[in-house]
């Protein structure tokens, strides 16, 4: 690997060391030393972001679009370095890293196009009616305005697309909000090279250096200091339910509470309708296994649960899934911590009452093997732990006695990022009974597909009712996510020269 990280933080245009160091834990290659984040660095980064907002928050859409495109260009210019450090730190194959880099730069360029159209501003105008009786109406104009500096937490499972310059950062910068990123300790070198790309883009576009800062990983006090800093106006987070809920509570407990947009995981249940299973159960089982194994199951859209009505066709589906998973080889996981947590999850399923183990093997450090379990609908309903996410390639088949029991079980799910219907035309009437339930449970509902592919587009919703996310009105993927970092402002009888440029 030619790229050698220097291990510093980027604070308002300056690369900064700190006394304490931590060492990366790469899947292969050499470990590197990185500076540990501190509360003092957080304060400096947030203060600089507030200073930057005075200009960046009032920049033109054209200026911000150029900035986003320049970041994308600079990331692509560092493509070889991104691949080298990304594969080393995460163990992901080069093709996955390169594909994720394309998604990351694609998001930036998509937001660039999105803000140039101006539709996201939701401009509204009520013309003055001075002669209206019994009361005249004033001139009223409304537009969406940026909220101020935003904090973003890097994600463990997406070192690029959900981290330093990922969707949260792209949406915030597009809206006109400076960003302070807390880097994830699982891939600090990847975060550094992406931060360098943003740093170069800031200089090329002649922007205030406080528009972006990266504070490398530290202990919990660093994250706490970031979400409670008085200059931060919103937080974007992708991670565990426990960690996200702790930060959410801190945001709510502030003297001036701020929104916390946390994407906290999901089991993404699939409802296997009877005619579909009868017609193509074996093919569905093979396809489900492929989706479970993708990326060692380390996706928030991993379809971890399949609900089937007990039958011979359902048995064929289960056997096909098992046969496909049996052929899988152990996969390297993103971190030792994730691998350990997966091993604990497998052990808990193995010992749960009423659960039949179909496939399981002993995990070795940093690797995972597929696991498959089977349980009745009644036993599943008795044990809420079986509905909790196990981050990795673990699948659970829940067998119900009837479609009526499937409806009862669907109602019992907590909020999900996705729910899926596998159905044939003959299943339409039964699927219609499920749809009102699933619409209240998930941000995205699929038919005859697998949720592990997330299209970055204008229509995508990535989020859902709690605990899938902390704000059911938001998405962390797609151009709708820009709404999280905007708020409507109404201008009444304001002279034209005082209005925002986009309202004049």
φ/ψ of 272, rounded to 5, equals -95, 105
E strands, 92-208, in order? 124-126, 140-146, 150-153, 179-182
Let me know: does 96 contact 295? Beta carbons within 8 Å.
Answer: yes
263 as an active site residue: the answer is: yes
Q: What angle do CA 211, 192, 234 make, to 5 degrees?
A: 40
**Residue 134 preceded by cis peptide, ω within 30:** yes
Taking alpha carbons only, the member of 308, 304, 283 closest to residue 293 is 304
Distance CA 49, CA 210 (A): 5
Token pair, residue 78, equals 């560092």
Let me know: does 392 contact 332? Beta carbons within 8 Å.
Answer: no
Catalytic residue, chosen from 46, 251, 300, 419, is: 300
The CA distances from residue 382 to 34, 110, 353, in Å, are 46, 45, 9
How many CB atoms sit inside 10 A of residue 243's CB? Answer: 15
SS (H, E, C) 165-185: CCHHHHHHHHHCCCEEEECCC
β-strand 356-359 against 371-376: which pairing, if any? antiparallel
What does R_g of the chain's alpha carbons equal in angstroms?
24
Let me know: does 325 contact 289? Beta carbons within 8 Å.
Answer: yes
φ/ψ of 482, rounded to 5, equals -65, -25
Token pair, residue 224, equals 């706490």
Give 423's contacts (C-beta < 8 A, 6+ positions apart).
273, 275, 276, 430, 431, 447, 448
300 as an active site residue: the answer is: yes
Taking alpha carbons only, the member of 112, 110, 13 closest to residue 62 is 112
**Residue 467 preceded by cis peptide, ω within 30:** yes
Taking alpha carbons only, the member of 284, 182, 159 closest to residue 235 is 182
Residues serving a catalytic function are 263, 300
């Amino acid at each position: 690997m030619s790229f050698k990280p220097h291990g510093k933080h980027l604070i308002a245009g300056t690369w900064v060391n700190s006394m304490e160091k931590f060492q990366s834990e790469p899947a292969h290659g050499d470990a590197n030393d990185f500076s540990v984040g501190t509360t003092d660095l957080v304060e400096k980064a947030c203060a600089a972001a507030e200073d930057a907002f005075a200009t960046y928050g009032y920049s033109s859409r054209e200026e911000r679009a150029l900035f986003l495109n320049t970041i994308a260009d600079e990331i692509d210019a560092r493509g070889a370095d991104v691949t080298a450090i990304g594969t080393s730190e995460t163990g992901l194959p080069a093709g996955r890293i390169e594909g994720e880099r394309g998604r990351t730069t694609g998001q930036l360029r998509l937001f660039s196009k999105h803000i140039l159209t101006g539709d996201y501003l939701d401009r509204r105008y009520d013309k003055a009616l001075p002669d209206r009786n019994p009361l005249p109406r004033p001139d009223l104009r409304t537009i969406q305005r940026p909220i101020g500096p935003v904090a973003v937490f890097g994600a463990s499972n997406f070192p690029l697309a959900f981290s330093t310059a990922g969707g949260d950062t792209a949406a915030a910068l597009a809206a006109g909000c400076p960003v302070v990123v807390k880097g994830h300790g699982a891939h600090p070198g990847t975060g550094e090279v992406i931060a360098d790309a943003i740093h170069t883009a800031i200089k090329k576009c002649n922007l205030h250096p406080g528009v972006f800062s990266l504070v490398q990983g530290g202990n919990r006090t660093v994250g706490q200091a970031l979400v409670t800093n008085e200059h931060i106006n919103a937080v974007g987070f992708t991670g565990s339910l426990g960690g996200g809920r702790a930060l959410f509570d801190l945001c709510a407990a502030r003297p001036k509470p701020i929104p916390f947009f946390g994407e906290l995981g999901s089991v993404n249940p699939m409802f296997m309708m009877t005619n579909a299973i009868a017609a193509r159960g074996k093919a569905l089982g093979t396809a489900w296994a492929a989706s479970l194994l993708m990326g060692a199951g380390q996706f928030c859209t991993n379809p971890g649960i399949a609900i089937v009505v007990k039958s011979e066709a359902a048995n064929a589906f289960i056997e096909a899934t098992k046969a496909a998973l049996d052929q899988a080889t152990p996969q390297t996981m993103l971190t030792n911590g994730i691998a350990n947590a997966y091993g604990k999850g497998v052990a808990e399923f193995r010992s749960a009452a009423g659960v039949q183990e179909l496939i399981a093997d002993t995990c070795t450090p940093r690797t995972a093997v597929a696991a498959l379990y089977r349980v009745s609908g009644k036993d599943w309903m008795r044990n809420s732990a079986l509905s909790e996410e196990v981050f990795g390639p673990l699948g659970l088949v829940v067998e119900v006695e009837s479609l009526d029991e499937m409806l009862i079980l669907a109602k019992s799910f907590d909020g999900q990022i996705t729910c899926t219907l596998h159905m044939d035309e003959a299943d339409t009437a039964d699927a219609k009974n499920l749809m009102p339930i699933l619409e209240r449970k998930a941000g995205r509902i699929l038919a005859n597909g697998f949720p592990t592919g997330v299209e970055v587009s204008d229509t995508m919703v990535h989020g859902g009712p709690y605990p899938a996310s902390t704000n059911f009105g938001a998405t962390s993927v797609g151009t709708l996510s820009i709404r999280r970092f905007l708020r409507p402002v109404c201008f009444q009888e304001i002279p034209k020269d005082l209005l925002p440029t986009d309202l004049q």
